[in-house]
Amino acid sequence: MSELVTQLRALGLRHSADHLDDLVALATKRRLGVVEILEHVAQLENADRARRSLERRLLRSRIGRFKPVTDFDWGWPSRIDRAAVEAALRLDFIETGRNLVLVAPQGLGKTMLAKNIAHAAIAAGHSVLVVTASQLLLDLAAQDSARALDRRLRHYSRPALLVIDEIGYLSYDNRNADLLFQIVSRRYEHKSLVLTTNLPFAEWPSIFPNAACATALIDRVVHHADVIAIEGDSYRRRDAETAKRSRRAKS
């Protein structure tokens, strides 16, 4: 049996090698024929490879922890296009290389929705990378040579879906604006972006106050983009006020 385990591993049949005793016992108990055994092995190996592939995509995505969309309170925002969000969760935009922009004040769940969309894409077999705008630009700006920068630009251009979170919380100089423009340009009309921002596009020039490319950047993001605006009061503020009232009631 040990020699068979070694041979199975050499063939890349890891699951069968790790569960060979169970496989032999099942085949004996059910009196499976040769074809039935091979079919069973193929099914197990395909399922195991799909599982490991999903785990690798999740790890590489850097998606982090997030609440499932089933926890989203659709009744709280004063304005939200639920049908558009559900269409995004079905990944309709990825198939055509469109972008998705979630525009909402802080605390209304745009990051939560973006990560749920990212997770749906991962589960569907797409490569995904999730990063905040500040992390992305800090990484690119830290490269000390043109070759190193090109490698990082290719890194962010490679995934089928790139999620850039929290655009608009900080202002950036011309160099950072140019770097973000390069990312958007490399993916333009080929691979999808999901962006979250607390600012409407009319206020985006304030993020890059002196950048000549700001208008071109906005134009390339908006062209072929689905924009979902969410309005209302912050969930976090609501939860904080609820907790505060609860403490007062107990005291």
Residues in the chain: 251
Mean pLDDT to the nearest integer, 168-183: 89
Per-residue model confidence (pLDDT) at position 201: 85
Which fold, 69-237?
Rossmann fold (3.40.50)
Q: What is the pTM of this model?
A: 0.82
CA distance 214 to 172: 11
What is residue 233's three-state secondary structure? coil
Per-range mean pLDDT, top range of 11-15, 124-128, 186-190, 214-218: 124-128
DSSP state at residue 207: T
CA distance 175 to 27: 64
What does the domain layout of the chain look like in residue ranges?
2-61, 69-237
Structural contact between residues 230 and 110, judged by C-beta atoms closer than 8 angstroms: yes
